[in-house]
Every structure is written in C-alpha cells, then in structure tokens.
Amino acid sequence: MPHPASDELAIEVRNVSMVYGAGASAFTALDDVEVAIKENEFFTLLGPSGCGKTTLLRLIAGFSYPSGGDIRLHGQNIAALPPFKRPVNTVFQNYALFPHMTVSENIAFGLAMLKRSRTEIRDSVDRMLKLVQLEALKDRKTAQLSGGQQQRVALARALAPQPKVLLLDEPLSALDFKLRKEMQIELKRLQHETGITFIFVTHDQEEALTMADRIAVMSAGRILQIGSPREIYDRPAERFVADFIGETNFMQADVLSSADGMAEVALPGGKRIPALVAEGFRPSGQVSIVVRPEHAQIVEAGPEAHLTGTLENTVYFGTDTHFHIRLDGGRQFILRRQNSRSAAAAPQNGTVVGIRIDDGAAQILKD
C-alpha cells in the first residue's frame, strides 16, 4: 500500500546553526536553518559540495549537536537523545557493511543490538530480503556482491528496525549511471511501500528532481528555497537556485510596469514581454530575468522574434537538440528543442535567427 505524505510533521529543524571550531578559526556551516519535513515525505537536501547537507543530516541523526536552535521529532525536542535512542537510521555513501557476514547477518545486526527476539529477527530479515529482492542471495557474504546489491543490503539493514525517519547521505554516488537510475526507482518504491520519511542528501539536481516530493536547495549553510521539484524548477526564487537547477538563460531587462505577480519588461533590443514576479516582490528599474532553454522557439528574425542573434552551434542529444545562439550584444542564449520526425529542419550554423519566448516563460529574479 502506498503511503502518501501526510500533513503531520516528522522533523522540525528550528533556527538551527552549527559553528565548527572557535575564535578566529570558527566556521559557520549552518546559519539559521529552518525546515519542516512531513511524515511519509521523500525530502531531499540539495546543494553543492560543502554547503552543509551532511552537517544537517548528522544533527538530525544525533551524531553532533547544534550550536543553536532545536530539532523536533513528532513535536518532541530530541536534543538530549543520543543517536541510538532516536527512531532515526542512516544509510551512508560507503554502505559500511560487514564484509565477512552474510546478507542476512548484516540485516539482522541492528536488530540483535536492539535485543529483539530470535523469531522477531528472523521474520524481519525475511521481510526485508523480500522488500529489497535479495532472497536468493541471503547466505552470500556481502564482499561477494555487486555495488547495487550491497547498496540494497545497506538499505535493508537500515530499514529493518522500522525507523520513523531514514537519513540517506548520497547513497547512490558510488554506483555507475545505469545502476544509479535503477536504484533511484527502487528507493522511491521502498519509500512508498514502507511509508517511512526519507531525508535524502544529494548534490545531483537531476536525482533530486526525479525522486523528491520536496526539495530544499542549500548554499553556504543556508536554505534558499523549499518546494516541489516543479516549483523549484519552474519558479526559482533566486539566481543561485535558477543556476544550480538545470540550464537557464539569464538576461537583463528594464521593468516598464508591474502589478499582481506580473510585470512588463523591455528586453535587450527593445521588445516588450510579460514576465512573472516572485510573490511579495516589487521589481523596478533594471532586473535579471530567466528563461529555461525549452521555453523558447527559433523563429525567423523579424517582427515575431523577441530576440535576434546568430546560431553558433547545434548539439544533437538524441532526444533533443541544443542551439547556442549569440545574441546581438554578445550574450549567449541556449535553446532546446525536442527531436521528432515532424520537427522543422534546423537552420544552418552561422544563420541569423530570431528567438520567441513562450508566453509566461520569462521570470524576474529577486537578486
């Protein structure tokens, strides 16, 4: 049975800060972080290396304690609880399995530590083996398994004590591309079937977009935006988010008027288009706007075009083609078109082309 995310909160991180070291060498790894994660949610922490993802995960797990703020689990402050007393389990990047033990023994390990009865351990191991589809390999030593199989054992071991929350720190980064894709689907299925809240750390934006119910985008110890993959991709609140998630075209434009979440802007070259405005923001003067590469079309240079430039480069990607256009004025604009048998022939490199931005596709950034 699938377990949809409920409105109950599993984890609340309130005004949490984390400072490593002291005095002149003090380093703020988390700066007033605030996030509420719902029960049964697949929640992803996404950001570049060093932004504080692992630090936040370690605080939730109880491996370290925040310098300020508090962390609540189902409404209860868990600051004083040591890791083993928290209904939280962690899957690490390097699995940390016991190589000399069998698959079953690895899965049973945590349960034995918790002093569960022999029957309970046996039933639980059987259930986990089935869940991760490793029944056939239960007596194999984990050193004799493939990377993907080892990852599944690590997951089964972490899920066996039925934690309320499972923390996953880049668990797929050691796998090759194809296996990684398979495991992404597998993880999503496991989360759905068990109804356990997953907090998944990654620096891979595509992984976050495909797996998460909601994403928190982090940079330099702060959470910049929290939203569904679609919200984060379609309505990035600031430049960093727009730039980090997918490809984006940035341009300067002049605001002519604005009201109720929309503005009219003049693009370089003078053409006027409507642009979306983030909630609570009143833009004026010169602003940055973003347009996703798949939200614009190549048209003839002429009155229909919003921008004009020279097609410099055409890159074929199988499912789609990317066009690199050098705008009059020097900036590059990337445009992406899906390939299909009926798609119009692409213009030759070196041709002067027009760009038409789709209705509602341009967005003004707050920065």
Q: Interface with ligand ATP by CB under 6 A: which residues?
A: 20-21, 27, 29, 47, 49-55, 203
Longest pairwise C-alpha distance within the chain: 78
Closest approach of ligand ATP to the CB of residue 203, in Å: 5
Closest approach of ligand ATP to the CB of residue 211, in Å: 17
Q: Which is nearer to ligand ATP, 18 or 335 (CB)?
A: 18
Q: What are the contacts of 27-35 at 24+ separation with CB within 8 A? A: 28/221, 29/55, 29/221, 30/55, 30/56, 30/59, 30/66, 30/221, 30/222, 31/220, 31/221, 31/222, 32/69, 32/222, 33/69, 33/221, 33/222, 33/223, 34/223, 35/11, 35/216, 35/223, 35/226
Question: At a CB cut-off of 8 Å and minimum separation 6, what does 125 contact?
Answer: 104, 107, 108, 111, 138, 160
Closest approach of ligand ATP to the CB of residue 65, in Å: 13
Closest approach of ligand ATP to the CB of residue 51, in Å: 4
- Alpha-carbon distance 183 to 191, whole Å? 12
Q: Which is nearer to ligand ATP, 52 or 229 (CB)?
A: 52
Closest approach of ligand ATP to the CB of residue 29, in Å: 4
Q: Which is nearer to ligand ATP, 57 or 125 (CB)?
A: 57
Q: Return the structure tokens found at 310.
A: 């020279």
How many residues does this entry show for the chain? Answer: 367
Closest approach of ligand ATP to the CB of residue 178, in Å: 23
Q: Are 355 and 307 in contact (CB under 8 A)?
A: yes
Q: Which is nearer to ligand ATP, 22 or 345 (CB)?
A: 22
- Strand pairing class (27-38; 9-20): antiparallel
Q: Which is nearer to ligand ATP, 58 or 331 (CB)?
A: 58
Closest approach of ligand ATP to the CB of residue 45, in Å: 8
Q: Which is nearer to ligand ATP, 91 or 131 (CB)?
A: 91
Q: Which is nearer to ligand ATP, 174 or 352 (CB)?
A: 174
Burial state string for 44-80 with b = 16 or more CB within 10 A and e = fewer than 16: bbbbeeebbbbbbbbbbbbeeebeebebbbeeeebee
N- to C-terminal Cα separation, the chain? 44
